[in-house]
Chains A and B, each alone.
Chain A
Amino acid sequence: MAEFFFNIDHGYLEALVRGFKGGILTQADYANLVQCETLEDLKLHIQSTDYGNFLANEPGAITVQVIDERLKEKLVTEFTHIRNNALEPLATFLDYITYSYMIDNIILLITGTLHQRPISELISKCHPLGSFEQMEAIHIASTPAELYNAVLVDTPLANYFVDCINEQDLDEMNVELIRNTLYKAYLEDFYGFCKQLGGTTAEVMCEILAFEADRRSIIITINSFDTELSKDDREKLYPRCGKLYPEGLAGLARADDYDQVKQVCEYYSDYKALFEGSGNAAGEKTLEDKFFEHEQVKLNVHSYLHQFHFGVFYAFIKLKEQEMRNIIWIAECISQRHRTKIDNYIPIL
Chain B
Amino acid sequence: LQESSIFRSADMSLCQLFLQTDAAYQCVAELGEAGMVQFRDLNEEMNSYQRKFVNEVRRCDEMERKLRFIEQEIISDGVEIIEPAEQFRAPQPKDMNDIEASFEKIEEELVTINTNTRALKDSHIQLWEMAQVIEKVKMMIDSGHTRHRASTVIHEQVTHAGIFDEHDSKDRGGTELKLVTGVMRRDRVVAFEKFLWRMCKGKVFIRSHDCEGEHDRFDEDEEKSVFILFFSGEQLAQRVAKICSGFHARLYNCPEEPVARLTLHKQIDQQLRDLNDVITRTLEHRTRVITAAATSVYAWKIKVLKIKMVFHTLNMFSIDVTQKCLIAECWIPTNDMDDVRDALRQGTIAAGSLVHPVLNEMEHHETPPTHFTLNKFTQGYQNIVNAYGMADYKELNPAPWCIISFPFLFGVMFGDVGHAIIMLFFALCFIFFEKKLISMKIKDEIFNTFFGGRYIVMLMGLFSLYTGFIYNDYYSKSIDVYHSSWATDANDNSCWKWQGLTGALFRKGYEQWEIDAAANNQTFEIMLDPIYCYDTEAGPYPFGLDPVWNLASNKLNFLNTMKMKSAVILGIMQMTFGLFVSLGNHIYNRSLVDVFFMFIPQMLFLCCIFVYLCVQILIKWIFFPVTPTWVFGKFYPGSNCAPNLLIGLINMFMMTPRTDGFGEFKNTTNYNVGDDVNLDDFVNDPNCGLSFWYPGESIAEKVLLVVAVISIPLMLFVKPFYIKWRHSRGLSIGHSHSEDGEFSFGDVMVYQAIHTIEFALGCISHTASYLRLWALSLAHAQLSEVLWDMLLKTFAFKVNGWLGAPLQFIFFFIFAILSVSILVLMEGLSAFLHALRLHWVEFQSKFYSGNGIAFEPFSFEKAIRIAEGLD
Residues on A facing B (Cβ under 8 Å): 32, 35-37, 40-41, 44-45, 48, 56-59, 119, 133-134, 136-140, 146, 149-151, 153-154
Contacts and interface: CB of A to CB of B under 8 A. Distances in A.
A45 B245 contact: no
A44 B54 contact: yes
Of listed B47, B191, B243, residue having the most chain A CB within 10 A: B47
Given A134-B191, A136-B247, A150-B195, A57 B69 contact: yes
A40 B195 contact: no
Contacts of B58: 40, 44
B49 A137 contact: no
Interface string B440-479: 0000000000000000000000000000000000000000
Contact of B246 (A45, A119, A149, A153): A119
Nearest to B51: A44
Contacts of A137: 195, 199, 242-243, 246-247
Contacts of B242: 137, 139-140
A45 B48 contact: yes
A58 B62 CA distance: 9
10 A-B pairs with least C-beta separation? A137-B246, A41-B49, A136-B246, A150-B198, A150-B199, A44-B49, A140-B242, A133-B191, A44-B48, A32-B47
A147 to B, nearest CB: 11
A138 B245 CA distance: 11
A93 B286 CA distance: 48
Nearest to A136: B246
Given A35-B47, A48-B48, A149 B198 contact: yes
A76 to B, nearest CB: 20
A15 B558 CA distance: 51
A118 to B, nearest CB: 10
Contact of B199 (A40, A146, A154): A146
Given A133-B188, A150-B199, A45 B65 contact: no
Nearest to A153: B198
Contacts of B54: 44
Contacts, number: 61
Contacts of B61: 44, 56
Contacts of A59: 65, 69
A57 B68 contact: yes
A250 B98 CA distance: 74
Contacts of A154: 191, 194
B248 A136 contact: yes
B525 interface: no
B578 to A, nearest CB: 39
Interface string B45-89: 001110000100110010011001100000000000000000000
A45 B47 CA distance: 8
B417 to A, nearest CB: 44
A201 B49 CA distance: 43
A244 B61 CA distance: 54
A283 B830 CA distance: 65
Interface in B766-783: none
Contact of B245 (A35, A58, A119): A119
A228 B54 CA distance: 57
A36 to B, nearest CB: 7
B149 interface: no
Given A136-B247, A149-B198, 7 more contacts: A56-B61, A56-B68, A57-B68, A133-B188, A136-B246, A140-B242, A140-B243
A95 B152 CA distance: 43
B798 interface: no
A108 B586 CA distance: 76
Nearest to A60: B62
27 contacts: A32-B47, A36-B49, A40-B49, A41-B49, A44-B54, A44-B57, A45-B49, A48-B48, A56-B61, A56-B65, A57-B65, A57-B68, A58-B65, A119-B245, A119-B246, A134-B191, A134-B195, A137-B195, A137-B199, A137-B242, A139-B242, A140-B199, A140-B239, A146-B199, A150-B195, A151-B195, A154-B191
A140 to B, nearest CB: 5
B733 to A, nearest CB: 36
Contacts of A146: 199
Contacts of A45: 47-49
A67 B353 CA distance: 44
A44 B59 CA distance: 12
A139 B246 contact: yes
A44 B58 CA distance: 8
Contacts of B247: 136-137
Interface string B179-192: 00000000010010
Contacts of B57: 44
Interface string B345-383: 000000000000000000000000000000000000000
A149 B194 CA distance: 11
Contacts of A149: 198
Interface in B415-461: none
A328 B198 CA distance: 41
A201 B420 CA distance: 55
A281 B221 CA distance: 56
Contacts of A40: 49, 58
B105 to A, nearest CB: 15
Contacts of B243: 137, 140
A157 B48 CA distance: 47
Contacts of B239: 140
A154 B64 CA distance: 47
Contacts of A134: 191, 195, 246
A197 B410 CA distance: 53
A36 B57 CA distance: 16
A326 to B, nearest CB: 18
A36 B68 CA distance: 27
Contacts of B65: 56-59
Nearest to A56: B65
A186 to B, nearest CB: 23
Contacts of B194: 154
Nearest to B199: A150
Nearest to A37: B49
Contacts of A153: 198
Q: Which of B69, B194, B195: most chain A Cβ within 10 A?
A: B195
Contacts of B49: 36-37, 40-41, 44-45
Contacts of B199: 137, 140, 146, 150
Interface in B231-273: 239, 242-243, 245-248
Contacts of A136: 246-248
A119 B47 CA distance: 43
A125 to B, nearest CB: 16
Interface in B16-64: 47-49, 54, 57-58, 61, 64
Contacts of A151: 195
Contacts of A150: 195, 198-199
A81 to B, nearest CB: 22
Nearest to A48: B48
B723 to A, nearest CB: 38
A140 B239 CA distance: 7
A149 B199 CA distance: 8
A246 to B, nearest CB: 39
Interface string B132-148: 00000000000000000
A21 B246 CA distance: 37
A220 to B, nearest CB: 31
Contacts of B195: 134, 137, 150-151
A139 B242 CA distance: 8
A154 B307 CA distance: 57
Interface string B191-232: 100110011000000000000000000000000000000000
Nearest to A135: B246
A322 to B, nearest CB: 24
Nearest to A120: B245
B75 to A, nearest CB: 14
A139 B199 CA distance: 12
Contacts of B245: 119
Interface centre among B49, B64, B195, B245 (most CB of A within 10 A): B49
